[in-house]
Amino acid sequence: MPIGDPADLSPRALAVLSQADLIACEDTRRLAPLLAVHAISTPTLSCFEHNEERRARELVERMRAGARVALVTDAGTPCISDPGFRLVRAALDAGVRVGAIPGPSAVVAALSIAGLPTDRFVFEGFLPAKSAARRSELKSLAREARTIVLFEAARRLGETLAEMAEIFGNERRAAVVREIGKTYEEVARGSLGELAARFIRDPARGEVTLVVAGADRGASAADEGVGEARRSSSVTVEILCEAGLSLKQASAVVAWLGGGSRREIYQHALVARRARQEQQQDDK
């Protein structure tokens, strides 16, 4: 399905949707307007994350009886951070032929315009929603040499970028690709530090794909040193806060003592505080 512009639906996809006996989709209500525009009257059936296992059995039985089923998701390609894997696996296990109708993918679309190396990349889907788990995942990716592509909820983008800046290094290059194929498509390019400051100050809206440059193998030790320095400054900020200073006042003091940026110290201390609070909630 198109990820933005309805015109991205290919002629072959239109033909398959018209000729199928049934269309399995995430949300029948979201699919209906697109089918109506193209005068497609094929019946639809919901098949989403929470009912896919049950639907898979039902759909496989229909296909074994000769029905032709088209599988779509709300946007992009089924199975790519979307439902579909269980149905595909069940169909293959039952000896049903499964074919792909190539179509739009936010992963490849964002990678192609990010301005970062594309010869080798890794797709990480969505990072964990909770800060402690997200930071653990980011630490495991810190030395990844391939370009990293992932999805993130707009409301968490600023916080995630700040955590990346702390763990990957402030100067690591990245691109935030927002609303691909839609009226307000935007690509913001810069360092992780610059992007974190921007999206903390001005939160993003819409669908977001994040593309991050891979690690420079020769710079990994230096990045670790920078990360340790930031963690140390965050601890010092918290000690000053416990003594009665506000977070902004404590950040200003640490910046004056260490010669760093007050804004960056404040942002990293804020992210570290949120991570601790989430970890405490998890422990409860």
**DSSP letters of 229-265?**
HHHHHHHHHHHHHHTT--HHHHHHHHHHHHT--HHHH
Q: Which of 63, 36, 178, 7 is nearest to 47 (CA)?
A: 63
How confident is the model at residue 227, as a pLDDT?
A: 59
How confident is the model at residue 95, as a pLDDT?
A: 96
How confident is the model at residue 272, as a pLDDT?
A: 76
How confident is the model at residue 219, as a pLDDT?
A: 52
pLDDT, tens digit, 9 for 90 and up, residues 227-250: 566 667 777 888 888 888 888 888
Q: Which residues of the chain have pLDDT under 70?
A: 217-231, 259, 278-284
How confident is the model at residue 132, as a pLDDT?
A: 86
First CA to last CA across the chain, in angstroms? Answer: 42
Contact by Cβ (8 Å): 202, 26: no
State the pTM of this model. Answer: 0.75
How confident is the model at residue 234, as a pLDDT?
A: 76
pLDDT, tens digit, 9 for 90 and up, residues 8-66: 899 999 999 999 999 999 999 999 999 998 999 999 999 999 999 999 999 999 999 99
**Beta pairing, strands 173-178 & 208-212:** antiparallel
Beta bridge partners of 126: 151
Distance between CA atoms of 92 and 112, rounded to whole angstroms? 32
How confident is the model at residue 282, as a pLDDT?
A: 63
Contact by Cβ (8 Å): 165, 142: no
